[in-house]
Chain A
Amino acid sequence: MLRNNAQHAGEKTVNPELTAKALAKAVCDGDIVNFRFLFSPFSPARRDSTERFETPKYAYLLPDTEMEHSDTFRAVLQIVRRGDIWAHVEQELEAKRPAQMPSELLLMLADNAVRSEKYTSAAQAYEVLRIRARMQEEFLNQGEIALDKGDIPRAVRAYLVAASLEYDYGAFPEPLPAVPNFQTRALMLHGDYPATPEESLPFQELPVFLRTGFTYLLLNPSLAAKLESRPIETRLDFFERLVHERDPRWGEFATRYQAACRLTQEFAERIQRALQNRAGGGDDDVLEDEIYAQLGENPMEIAAQLLGRSIPNGEWWQYLKEIAGEHPPGILFLSRQVIGEHETLLPRYRADSPLPIRLGLVEKRAE
C-alpha cells in the first residue's frame, strides 16, 4: 500500500511557480514554520509527497493578490528564482534525505521577521544560521549608539529587539526562543512577603528599583547591567519609554492605579481614625470593625480596582499574574499587604521618586 502510494505520488507534477511563490511568501512574512514545512517530507512542493498546493488547505502558503503585486514580494521572488538558489531548492526537494535550506533566503526571512516583530521566528532563523548571539550584539550596539546620541526611543527599540532574540537553552526538552514570561517573573519578584513596607519592591532606592525594573522588562540581567553606567536621568528616560513600549495600554492602568491610590488613602484614613479611637479608650474591636467596614464583603477591592475587574474568589497572586499579563510594568508599583485575614495588593510608590508622576501613576501636584 505504501509502495503504491509512493508510486502514485511519484507521478505528481509540482508547478515550480507555486513553489517559488510559496517560498517568497514565507520569506516576506518572516515565517520560519512555513519555510521549513516547504522543505519537509510532506511538503506540497515535493514530487514524492501526496500533498498538493492546489488543495484549499494550502492556500495559506501562497500569496494573495495584494502581496503578489507588492514590490517587496516581487524582489524576493526574483531572488528565489535566481539560478543558483533555484537549482539548490530543486535539488533539495528531490533529495531523499533531510533538506538543506538555502541560507540566503533564511537570512532574509530572519530580517523580515524582526521587521514584523515576529521575534521567535527571527531568533530561530538566526540560531539555525549560528548568528543569533552576534545579531543580538549588533542590535545592542545600535542601542548604545542611540543612547550616546540621546535618542531614547531608538535605544529602547534596539534593546527590546536584542532582548527578544534571546534563546532559552534551559527549556525542556529542547532549547526554544525565550518568551516574555511576565506572569511567572512577577510572582518571583513578589515571592517574599515584605516584612516592612520599606522592604517592598516599589520602595527600593531608585537605582536599585531601576535595575530590577530593567531586568524584569528586558528579561535579561546582562542587558539591564549594560544600562548601569548611564546617568540616572538617561535611565529614567529609558525606563519611561520602556514602560510604554512594553505596555501600549499603560494609560488605562495608570488611571486605575490613581483610583486605587484614592481607595487606599480612604482606607488608611479610616484605619487612622480607628487607631485614634482606640488610643482614646475606644473598644479594641473597633480596628477590626473598621477594616471590615472598609473592605466590606470584598477584601480584594483594591486589587480588583488595579486590574479593572474582579476575579471570583481571587487571591492576591491571581490578581498579580493577571496584571502582569495585561500591564507588565504595573507590578513594579504594587506590594503585597495583609489586611485583616486577607492578603491583597496595594499600590505603592516612593514619594521621592520622579517615576510615578512621569508615568502618570499619580496626579501632578500643583506648583
Chain B
Amino acid sequence: MNQALTDEGYIDYYAILGLGRDAKPGEVRKEYRRRMKDLVYEIGETEITEEKRAFYLLEMAKLNAAFYILGNANRREAYTSERDSLIALEQRWRTAVDEHSAEADALRREFDRRIRGFLSKYIEEAMLDAGRDRECVEASNWNEAHERHASRILRHYRQSLYQKVLERLPFVEVTPPNIDWSERTETVQSILSEMMRNA
C-alpha cells in the first residue's frame, strides 16, 4: 500500500510553464508569451483533425490558465497552498489506511470532496476564466467558439487527472483485487474463443 509521495494528477502550472516556484511575475509573462507564440505557430503549420483540435485547444487552455493563475499574486498563492495541502492530505489518508486508523474513513471523505473541488476549480473554472482575461485573449485569440468546444474537453481532462490520482489510492468501493495478468491473458483468449464459437 505504501507508495512514494507523488503529485501526479494535481495539475502543476509551474511545470506547464517550465518554471520553478520562485519564478518572478515577469518571467511568468515572458515564458507564457513565448510558449503561446510557439503553440500558435505550430497550430498554423498543422493539418487540423478533430483529435488535433481537441489537443491544441487543451494545450492553449492550459497555458492560458497557467499565466492567469501564476501571473496574479493572490491567485498564485491560493493555488499553491491548496495544491500542497491536498497532496499532504492524500498522504495522511494513505498513512491512516496503512495503519488501520479510525480516522481513515473521515479523511477519505474529506480528500474526495477536496480533490474534486480542486480539479474543478483549477481546470475547468480557471481555464475558462483565463479565456476571458484580456491578456490571454490577445496572446491566444481565445474566443467564444473555443469556450463552447472546451467544456467537454476540459471535463475529460479533469477526469483523466482524477483517474491518475485514483489509480494510486487505497481501494474503497471494492476489496483490493489480486490480478494475475497471465491468467487475464488466458481469460481474454478463452472469452474470444467462446464468442467465436457462439457467433
Name A's B-contacting residues (CB within 8 A): 88, 97-98, 100-104, 106-107, 111, 114-115, 128-131, 134-135, 138-139, 141-142, 146, 153-154, 157-158, 161, 168-172, 175, 188, 221
Contacts and interface: CB of A to CB of B under 8 A. Distances in A.
Given A97-B105, A111-B187, A154-B192, A131 B177 contact: yes
A129 B188 contact: no
Contacts of A130: 166-167, 171, 177
Nearest to B195: A157
Contacts, number: 89
Contacts of A138: 184-185, 188
Contacts of A142: 188-189, 192
Contacts of A129: 174, 177, 179
Contacts of A153: 196, 199
A104 B174 CA distance: 9
A347 B178 CA distance: 53
Given A130-B166, A170-B152, A170-B155, A157 B175 contact: no
Contacts of B192: 139, 142, 146, 154, 157-158, 161
Q: Most chain-A CB neighbours within 10 Å: which of B166, B172, B173, B187?
A: B173
Interface stretch (B14-22, B24-32, B34-42, B156-164): B156-164
A106 B199 CA distance: 26
Nearest to B166: A130
Interface residues of B, number: 33
Given A111-B187, A111-B191, A101 B175 contact: yes
Contact of B160 (A161, A169, A172): A169
A115 B196 CA distance: 11
Nearest to B167: A130
12 contacts: A102-B174, A103-B175, A103-B178, A104-B175, A129-B174, A130-B177, A134-B181, A157-B192, A157-B196, A157-B199, A161-B192, A170-B156
B115 to A, nearest CB: 14
Nearest to B183: A107
A146 B50 CA distance: 30
B45 interface: no
B139 interface: no
A169 B195 contact: no
A48 to B, nearest CB: 19
The 4 closest A-B pairs by CB, nearest first: A170-B156, A169-B159, A103-B177, A138-B188
Contact of B156 (A157, A161, A169): A169
Contact of B173 (A107, A128, A131, A172): A128
Contact of B191 (A88, A98, A114): A114
Contacts of A146: 192
A135 B184 contact: yes
Given A103-B175, A129-B174, A221 B51 contact: yes
B194 interface: yes
Given A115-B195, A168-B156, 9 more contacts: A88-B175, A102-B175, A104-B177, A104-B178, A107-B177, A114-B191, A130-B171, A134-B184, A221-B51
B86 interface: no
A98 B159 CA distance: 23
Contact of B188 (A97, A103, A139, A168): A139
A98 B109 CA distance: 12
B155 A169 contact: yes
Nearest to B152: A170
A167 to B, nearest CB: 9
B11 interface: no
Contacts of A170: 152-153, 155-156, 159
Contacts of A128: 173-174
A107 B177 CA distance: 8
B44 interface: no
